[in-house]
């Protein structure tokens, strides 16, 4: 990954890492990049908030993490949301 990619983590890239981020399954470097992007991009920040909240709610209700297909659905929603905002 070039230095420029680090400086300009795109929303699309963040979408790819979103579930890993929530699962705390990223390298510290990747996590920092996402945190940085979230600090600069209100849209992604809000969406991650919502997604995190949804997953927390599911966890509280079920007593366990949501099934992978549930998270895949959430990620699909995020990708769709991003496609409507291609200029981000
Ligand atoms: Zn973004």
Please list the alpha-helical segments (H only) found in 2-67: 3-7, 11-22, 28-40, 42-62
- How close is the Cα of 63 to the center of ligand 1, in Å? 31
Give the other-Cβ count within 10 Å of 52's Cβ: 14
Is pTM beyond 0.75? Reply is: no
- How close is the Cα of 41 to the center of ligand 1, in Å? 5
- How close is the Cα of 71 to the center of ligand 1, in Å? 19
Q: Is residue 43 assigned to a domain?
A: yes
- How close is the Cα of 2 to the center of ligand 1, in Å? 19
User: CA-CA distance, 85 to 77, in Å (whole number)?
Assistant: 13
Q: What angle do CA 55, 44, 36 make, to 5 degrees?
A: 105
Residue-wise pLDDT tens digits, 3-53: 444 444 578 778 778 878 888 889 999 999 889 989 988 888 888 888 888
Range of the domain at 25: 3-83
What's the number of domains the chain is made of? 1
- How close is the Cα of 69 to the center of ligand 1, in Å? 24
Q: Is residue 88 assigned to a domain?
A: no
How many residues comprise the chain? 88
Q: Which helix (DSSP H) or strand (DSSP E) does residue 31 occupy?
A: helix 28-40
């Amino acid at each position: 990954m070039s230095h420029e990619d680090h400086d300009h983590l795109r929303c699309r890239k963040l979408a790819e890492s979103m579930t890993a981020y929530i699962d705390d399954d990223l390298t510290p470097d990747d996590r920092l990049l996402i945190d940085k992007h979230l600090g600069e991009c209100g849209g992604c920040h809000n969406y991650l908030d919502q997604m995190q909240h949804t997953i927390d709610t599911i966890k509280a209700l079920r007593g366990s993490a949501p099934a992978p297909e549930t998270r895949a659905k959430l990620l699909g929603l995020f990708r769709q949301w991003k496609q409507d905002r291609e200029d981000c």
